[in-house]
Structure 1
């Protein structure tokens, strides 16, 4: 049922869509003063990235006016439109200009019947994502056509109500963006803390003495302070979804938000981990660290780590988190990058006394909890906005428009 005053239509009647120009790669330049070319590789979900950018002779810029991009234009990659992190659709900002539109990228502007700022909401909607997934051509390089974009169906109110809807949803966008910035800042602060505290460059106050901890740290190998269990995969015939045996942790696919998240069970138990064990991915991507919420069977993609007596488990966890980016140098460069038991056991770790381990772990765990609270807030905001979009963009929930606007 079409809401009163709305129309059932498609993008084709309300957008100006332009496909990019076929620039010849042989004529790309490397001069930083030249004009950036906006290719599909430069589009990520909700943002443009300019690493590895190609450029074009600035003296030819005026000749290509048709392909000039403007602030608030939307661009969508026509090839590989959908990636794991979302749709490759982004809004052009002032900082992205000047740039030129390249073949296999579409530029979208609203016509006078569609509020430009409302496009942001359509492109970020679950409906548009599902639409693209449903219509894109599945070949070696999945792609979507200009025609398919234009055929996207929508219910559209008159301009005053469009503007009001866009205004309301933009308020939520600002809240989401602010929370994302807070999360990024908190993560940077925590990383800085890790670099200081886990190396002894910054010493915390000993609550027993009221003074900073003193004394040299001891350098040890990881297997001297922790029990390390390398996983072993059970036979696939033992896999089941009905809870027989133990949950199976095979690799990164069974880790979500740094917690174990098993997908299946196994009735054949090979190697086990316990609740609160540290989980370490030993196959690509190598080095991902998490905590086990389960007594589980671990496959060959996982190692479990449990601190020995008089060693603080949380300190070892935080140290492995800090070490996570460095695992790349241990990878073996094969089709399936991996690290072996010896690589893990012989990791060198500097270790303070037990009380200082506890204090460092407490500070870093507190930082993690702050980040988790912000991430939970962000997830809530996104879910609330999604529900609101489903109401506002279908007319199930109407907004009040001032009489002056309606006129």
Structure 2
């Protein structure tokens, strides 16, 4: 007996679109109910900090549009951006939310298949299908009936459950690593604020205050230009769907982290100036548009070549200062950087010279920066390791997904993510010993 049976999405799940909320009634209060719409939906991510929101008093009246844990949401306008499908799923930690029109919610008819459904939508075959049926020039779009017509081979229930368990284990470990990274970042920021904002650094009791500068003796006020070796915007990419290297854009920079899920590829042969190829501990600053301008994140993942587009500024610390200190310093003054934007509301730009010469920092002594490096280095080394782990996990997940969905490999022989990482660590350890 075959372990697969042809079916279509309309038989396997329901496909419903959202409500036509009136934009003039949108709320900007993040305590209200979040609205999931095309503009805040990305590839495997919902940008919960972007809004909009809707008055909480209407939530119960809109039960049909309430999203629940494990719902799969799919953009129906511009469903593919940069070769990636705009879809995500609702997690238990997400806030309550409502579905907006032109976004589809997919729910398996058997609740036990809901996690498996996520990977049907995540599969390369579904992406290819959506690419072929998308119509429209100004606004490429798909419809509910289009989604329902997608035909795929459905594994038997036992295999569906196993596939869902394995692939979701990869996603869960990736999410856990991101949460650990967030906590480590917060730990570093708390210590930074204690030492360099509240001035409660080790030995502060024995250090006097300079009467002219008002700073601890040995500290000095400097512009960003004085503590950096390079400040410049990125490149105009030559976008490709494959065989390229990542270009970080403004959507990638959020909550002091760089998320490659929103990046696109530029052609491998694209000649990028050496200075504009990212280096470890470069600081990236969003530099265009209200709502995104001023966001800061330090770049740790340099396993491969990467750059940024022209809407992002690269800030490279000089050898005279701690890169960890400078990264935390710019994160701490994000609101100030936001206010440096000039121009019309939707056309605001952060000028390189404004960033370089208007931003001033209280630079501590070399000795204190060295102490901060000693504290921060293990934290950010762990962050780098977790980012590298996530890269391996994503690569393995994306290789497994199409093979599992088509039966190319036996689900019972697939490694869980922890076993994969343990095997890779052992290989690296053995190679180190041989070397």
One fold, TM greater than 0.5?
A: yes
- 1:202 counterpart (200, 206, 226): 200
Corresponding residue number in structure 2 for 1:157: 155
**Map of 1:31-46 to 2, 5 A cutoff?**
39-40=37-38, 43=41, 45-46=44-45
Distance 2:382 2:98 in 1: 42
Corresponding residue number in structure 2 for 1:370: 382
Query: Residue 52 of structure 2 aligns to a residue in which SS?
Result: coil
Query: Residue 368 of structure 2 aligns to a residue in which SS?
Result: helix
Corresponding residue number in structure 2 for 1:208: none
Contact 1:289 1:320 survives alignment (8 Å):
no
CA RMSD of aligned residues (A): 5.1
CA drift of 1:395 comes to 0.4
Contact 2:34 2:53 survives alignment (8 Å):
yes
Corresponding residue number in structure 2 for 1:353: 365
Corresponding residue number in structure 2 for 1:384: 396
Corresponding residue number in structure 1 for 2:52: 52
Contact 1:251 1:302 survives alignment (8 Å):
no
Are positions 1:104 and 2:102 aligned together? yes
Corresponding residue number in structure 1 for 2:243: none
Are positions 1:337 and 2:335 aligned together? no
Distance 1:67 1:5 in 2: 35
Distance 1:306 1:69 in 2: 44
Distance 1:389 1:317 in 2: 40
Corresponding residue number in structure 1 for 2:222: 221
Distance 2:33 2:299 in 1: 47
Corresponding residue number in structure 2 for 1:89: 88
- 2:190 counterpart (192, 195, 199): 192
> 1:39-67: CA deviations, max 9, x gaps?
54565544484832224865983xx7665
CA drift of 1:161 comes to 1.7
Answer with 1 or 2: which has the greater Rg. 1
Distance 1:153 1:166 in 2: 19
Query: Residue 153 of structure 2 aligns to a residue in which SS?
Result: strand
Distance 1:152 1:19 in 2: 17
- 2:337 counterpart (327, 334, 340): 327
CA drift of 1:119 comes to 0.6
> 1:226-281: CA deviations, max 9, x gaps?
476666999x9xx99xxxxxxxxx9979x9969xx9974489x9x99998896776
Query: Residue 330 of structure 1 aligns to a residue in which SS?
Result: coil
Please say which of residues 22-31 and 340-349 is displaced more in the overlay.
22-31
CA drift of 1:337 comes to 0.6
What TM-score do you get using the length of structure 1 for normalisation?
0.68
**Map of 1:2-401 to 2, 5 A cutoff?**
4-22=2-20, 39-40=37-38, 43=41, 45-47=44-46, 49=48, 51-55=51-55, 58=58, 61=61, 70-82=68-80, 87-91=86-90, 101-112=99-110, 115-199=113-197, 201-204=199-202, 214-215=207-208, 216-217=216-217, 218-222=219-223, 225-226=226-227, 264-265=270-271, 283-284=287-288, 285=293, 307=318, 311-314=320-323, 317-318=326-327, 321-322=330-331, 325=334, 326-333=336-343, 335=347, 337-341=349-353, 343-399=355-411
Contact 1:283 1:301 survives alignment (8 Å):
yes
Contact 2:232 2:313 survives alignment (8 Å):
yes
Q: 1:303 to 1:263 in 2, by over 3 A?
A: farther
Distance 2:279 2:40 in 1: 42
Distance 2:226 2:278 in 1: 17
Distance 2:177 2:156 in 1: 32
CA drift of 1:23 comes to 5.8
> 1:279-331: CA deviations, max 9, x gaps?
7769535675768999x9xx9986776648xx435366435543562322222
> 1:357-395: CA deviations, max 9, x gaps?
221233233322221111111121122222222221110
Figure out how many residues of one structure are paired with residues of the other and give that number.
369
Corresponding residue number in structure 2 for 1:404: none
Query: Residue 339 of structure 2 aligns to a residue in which SS?
Result: helix
CA drift of 1:339 comes to 2.1
Query: Residue 109 of structure 1 aligns to a residue in which SS?
Result: strand
